[in-house]
Structure 1
């Protein structure tokens, strides 16, 4: 199963983004990230990593992403 990009991308104010160029970049980023994650997940499982554990590891990666709005 392949999950495509969302139909709308919510802005910080809750309203959907409408700039075509932003939408194009976000959709492209989504597709690229989805492919990299599929590849990493498949490699890990085929090398013997438990599927549930790998899903947890990938989820933790996302949760640990620092906000680009916060200063280091």
Structure 2
């Protein structure tokens, strides 16, 4: 999986700051690896693939917004 070509800002315009894009791409790669490892471990330990995908999706959907602190 590759990072998105464009990272949409709150105003709909893509993030253009190179440093921000670099951090976003690094975060994407790290998150992908952690999720891949967790998914593979779970499936290899007998967790149903469909259930694990749902669990990971719910995990992401349940993340609190840093703007609502």
Same fold (TM over 0.5): yes
Instruction: List, as ranges, runs of 4+ consecutive aligned residues in structure 1 with deviation greater than 2 Å.
Output: none
Q: How many residues align?
A: 69
Q: Secondary structure at the match of 1:22?
A: helix
Instruction: Report the TM-score, using the length of structure 1 for normalisation.
Output: 0.94
Partner of 1:55: 53
Deviation at residue 65 of structure 1 after TM alignment? 0.4
Instruction: Report the TM-score, using the length of structure 2 for normalisation.
Output: 0.98
Give the helix-richer structure, 1 or 2.
Answer: 2
Q: Which runs of 5+ in 1 are unaligned?
A: none
